[in-house]
Each structure stands twice: as structure tokens, then as C-alpha cells.
Amino acid sequence: MPQRVTLKDIANKTGYTVNTISRALNNKSDISEQTKKYVREIADSMGYINDSMAGSLRSGKTKTIAVILSDIANPHLAHQVKLIELNAVEYGYNTIILNTDENSEHERRAIISAYEKRVDGILICPVQQNEDNIKFLQSINIPFVLIGRYFKNLEADAVLSDDIKAGYLATKHLIDKGFCKILFMSAPKYISSARERLEGYIKAHNEANISIHNELIHCTNVKSGNAKEIMDSIIENHINFDSVIAFSDMLAFEIKCVLMNVYGNEADTIPIIGFDGVQSHLPLPFKFTSIGMEKDGWAKEAVALLFNRIQNPNLPKEKIVRNVSLLNFDYVNDNDIIKSK
């Protein structure tokens, strides 16, 4: 193995002391700009790379955060990871990404892995099958922020979207267009965002004095690839619906594909609304309305809150709820939506 270039090697090459080399590379004010430039050029030519581990041992900080997500294959989460990394760099932090695949055991391993890597903080979209992993995270005293989901009975920093409003806006939009048999394809109710979007769905129906039919409310695995079986069953059992609200844009994509396979071009008469606003940054061959947050989602707020928690561990916990709005990507003009028979 080639030997790592050290500060001593650079000192021997330049004739400066190790202390001068260190201060030059760390841009200290007591070193002239000419000397800094010369030392950097020599260090670069020798292939010097800063030993961040040694620095972290001295400071107690690794300048690294972990981002633990449920499904990094989801374009919405992938986009948020990109934004998290860009925002973390502004604070001088690097990012490592860990995937749980919506599995509690994988989530526990991800938390342990982040702890072993001595990260300074964690952003986590929790699986929520139970509270055990978040209680474990609290016990090991790593600053963390929940993103996208939260626990009512656990005090923790969190950055969320207004999911009750999201469910309400989606449902009201369809009701205002004359649809009253709205299929709601949700995720399991133990997920806080699914539970609150359903609450918004119910609120909009009650406000419009429209009866809610239990056969129109279904739950599917939150991961992609699980909608077809349920949709096939709904269609085979002749459950009458005229529009669809899906837990996520990814789920909406799958439902759209099922409807196109069954109904062909007539599928365009069945409007679908998803959540996350994926089409705002990912062009797609077919369009539909979505409910989403502002452009940066929860990334900027989450990184800022985590950094503040790292710097000030004793501050009161904070829950930030971000506003949502209806993002109209309909494949037809709003005024031209035709109700399915």
C-alpha cells in the first residue's frame, strides 16, 4: 500500500515546520497569503489529503450527518437527499445515506451504523411500525430530526408537511370538479402522514355533505410496486369509483398504469391526485395533479434544525409544519376533465 502523505512530508519538502504547514493549510491569519499558496501547491503536487479522522478525534466532531430514509428509490426522497446534501455543505458537513426499505430491523441497523461512524447528527424518516427505534435513538444521545413523519407520544424535533391540509386539498379539488366516488389509496395507518391525509379526506367529504364509502378506502404497502394487486381486485369486484387519490406520486404512477392497461384511452377520464410534487423536477410522459411543499421541500428546514440541535443540544424540541399547495400538472385542462361513467 502506498504511504499516506503527512504534514511532516510536506515540511521536509518545503523547509517549513509542521506547525507552519498545518496553519497554512488551515488558512490561519498569521500565515502570509504567499506562503499559504506555496504550501497548498506543494501539498497538492504530493497528493496530500487532510486526515479528517485525526481532526475529529481532536475536536470530537466528524462534520458528518446521516440521512436515514425509507426508500431511496423513490424520486421524491432522492430529490430531497440532493437538497439535503447541498444544504449540509453550507454548514461544512458531509452526508452519508442509509436506506431502511420500510423495515424496522433495517432501521435499527442503520441507526447503529450511523452511531458507529460517529456522525454528529441524524435526519430520519421513521418506519413507524413501532416507537422502539426512535426511543433507542434518544437513548444514545445523537442529535436527530424526524422528517416527513412524527410520533404523537414522543418529544422530538421534526420537519413535516401539513398532511391534514394535503388530504383536504386533494379531496376538495375533486369534489369541486363534480367527483363524489373518490378512491383513496393510502399507506398503513401507523404512518402519521397516511393517517392525517385520510383525516383531510374525511374532512372534505363531511364539509360537502358527501357520504364516505368504506369500500373506497384502501391501504397498500408504502413501497412502490404493490398497487396493482389491490387495483385489480377493486376493478374485478366492480367497486365504482370516478377518481383516485394516492398516498404518493409513485403510487399514483402505478395506479395510472393499471387504469391504462384496463381502460385504454378512457383512463384519461379518471383523474388521479398524488402527493410529493415529483413532476416539478422530473418530467413524465403523463401528467396529473399533486400536492406538494415549496421547491426545497423539508430539506433546508431539516438541515438547519439539525445543525441548531448539534450546536445547542439543550434547546426545547421544535416541530416545523410546512405549508402545502395543489400543483396542477393535469394531462388535460381543468375545465375539460370528463367524468367517467
User: Regarding the domain delimited by 163-293+326-336, which CATH topology (the fold level of the hierarchy) does it fall under?
Assistant: Rossmann fold (3.40.50)
d(C-alpha 186, C-alpha 222), whole Å: 8
Ranges of each domain in the chain: 7-50, 62-161+295-323, 163-293+326-336
CB-CB contact of 288 with 252 (8 Å): yes
User: Regarding the domain delimited by 62-161+295-323, which CATH topology (the fold level of the hierarchy) does it fall under?
Assistant: Rossmann fold (3.40.50)
pLDDT for 302: 96
Q: Which stretches in the chain have pLDDT values below 70? A: 1-2, 51-60, 224-225, 295, 329-341
Predicted confidence (pLDDT) per residue in 109-149, tens digit: 999 999 999 999 999 999 999 999 999 999 998 999 999 99
pLDDT for 222: 76
Q: How far is CA 138 from CA 68, 112, 113, 114, in A?
A: 15, 12, 15, 14
Burial of 103 (0-12, 13-18, 19+ CB in 10 A): middle
d(C-alpha 18, C-alpha 8), whole Å: 6
pLDDT for 280: 81
